[in-house]
Amino acid sequence: MSNYRYGGGGGGGGYYGIEVRDMHMHQRMSYPHRFTFVSSCVKYMIFLLNFIFWLFGGLLLGIGVYAFMDKWEEANGWVRLETIYDVVLNISLVMIIAGIVIFVVSFAGCLGALRENTYLLKFYSMCLLIFFLMEMAIAIICFVFPQHMNSFLEDQFTDKIIHSYRDDPDLQNFIDFAQQEFKCCGLSNAGYQDWSKNEYFNCSSPSVEGCGVPYSCCINATDISSRLVNIMCGYGVQVHSVAAASKLIWTSGCIENVRVWAERNLYGIAGFALGIALVQLLVIYLAKTLEGQIDLQKSRWAT
């Protein structure tokens, strides 16, 4: 900006000097006193969603601990956890681990949003991103390489699940539910013959269950009139041919039946998975948006 000085007195008027000043003015935008960059809508939406999952994680953890302690007492303080398969096939322990993960991650989201803590929000959004990428990887493998997934599950889990049927009541109930729901018997392509690998159902077993299969393999395990379950309906069926056994029990393996069921309901499963993925991406977006808003607010305070 230039300022000109005018000399009006004396013999002659006019400009007798020029003084030039360059003034650099830093203009600051003014905001109302209560203005904040942090959106209350985004903040409390993240808090509410994570509060619901925090309660769910606590419930899952509580149920898992109760089931594990009950199993611990029944086994007189001994639970087999020698390999990773023992952990994966222990349903109560899986519930405990899943409950802890959900509880911790959702608590970080709750507290990070409520206290406007960017470190907790970064941890929260990073965990969600990892979960999302893992889910996408599993979905791609299952849809692109279904036969390889079948072979992997049969090779890695058939023997271990069949062997553990009587040892773990939770796993036993889960297997019975799966066999009744998907109308199958055993896991692999061998079908009902898989149960010969169990020490109780093996034909060399001295028990009455020898050469048999669990009642959940039976086509008509429940009597219609009395509504009672005939737990002996599968006894001795392993000695029958597939044609003869198929009149009494389901003969195909559960892994193949689940794959066929998934193919028949492909669009429904894909739609559900897409919905879950979109929700996760939305929450990640909201968390990153809140992080940016908090950083803007901090920079405003800093100036």
For residues 113-117, average pLDDT: 89
What is residue 69's predicted lDDT score, i.e. its pLDDT?
A: 87
Any bridge partners for residue 6, and if so which? 15
Q: pLDDT grade, residue 63 (50/70/90)?
A: very high
The tokens of 177 are what?
Answer: 């539910």
Q: Is the pLDDT of residue 15 over 50?
A: no
Q: Which residue has the higher pLDDT, 167 or 33?
A: 167
Q: Where are the alpha helices (DSSP H) in 39-90?
A: 40-74, 84-88
pLDDT at position 11 is: 46
Q: What pLDDT is stored for residue 224 in this prediction? A: 65
The predicted structure's pLDDT at residue 60 = 95
The tally of CA atoms less than 13 A away on the side-chain side of residue 224 is 2
Q: Which of 71-85, 113-127, 223-237, 258-272 has the lowest mean pLDDT?
A: 71-85
Q: Which residue has the higher pLDDT, 23 or 43?
A: 43
β-sheet bridge partners, residue 4: 18
Region label for 220, one of left (φ > 0), alpha (ψ between -120 and 50) or beta (otherwise): beta
Local confidence band at 140 (pLDDT 50, 70, 90 cut-offs):
confident
User: What is the pLDDT confidence band of residue 32, given thresholds at 50, 70 and 90?
Assistant: low
Q: 130 pLDDT band (50/70/90 cuts)?
A: very high
Domain parsing of the chain, residue ranges: 134-272
SS (H, E, C) 198-227: CCCCCCCCCCCCCCCCCHHHECCCECCCCC
| Whether the predicted pLDDT of 20 surpasses 70 | no
pLDDT band for position 58 (50/70/90)? very high
96 pLDDT above the threshold of 90: yes
User: What average pLDDT does the chain have?
Assistant: 83
Confidence of residue 33 (pLDDT cuts 50, 70, 90): low
The yes-or-no verdict on residue 8 having pLDDT over 70 is no
Residue with tokens 């048999």: 212
CB 6 within 8 A of CB 14: yes
User: Is 259 strand, coil or helix?
Assistant: helix
Report, as an integer, the average pLDDT of 45-73: 91
The pLDDT assigned to 50 comes to 93
Asked if CATH classification 1.10.1450.10 holds for the domain at 134-272, the reply, yes or no, is yes
146 against 130, higher pLDDT: 130
Contact 67, 97 (CB under 8 A): no
Exposed / middle / buried, residue 57 (Cβ in 10 Å: 0-12, 13-18, 19+): buried
Q: What mean pLDDT comes out for the span 8-30?
A: 44
What are the beta bridge partners of residue 19?
3
- State the pLDDT at residue 21: 44
Q: CA–CA separation, 246 vs 243, rounded Å? A: 5
Q: How confident is the model at residue 38 (pLDDT cuts 50, 70, 90)?
A: confident
pLDDT tens per residue, range 237-293: 999 989 999 999 999 999 999 989 988 998 998 899 899 999 999 999 999 999 888
Q: What would the pLDDT profile of 175-228 be if each residue is shown by its tens digit?
A: 999 999 999 999 999 899 999 999 999 998 888 888 999 999 999 877 666 678
* Structure-token pair, residue 76: 């007189």
Between 104 and 297, the more confident residue is 104
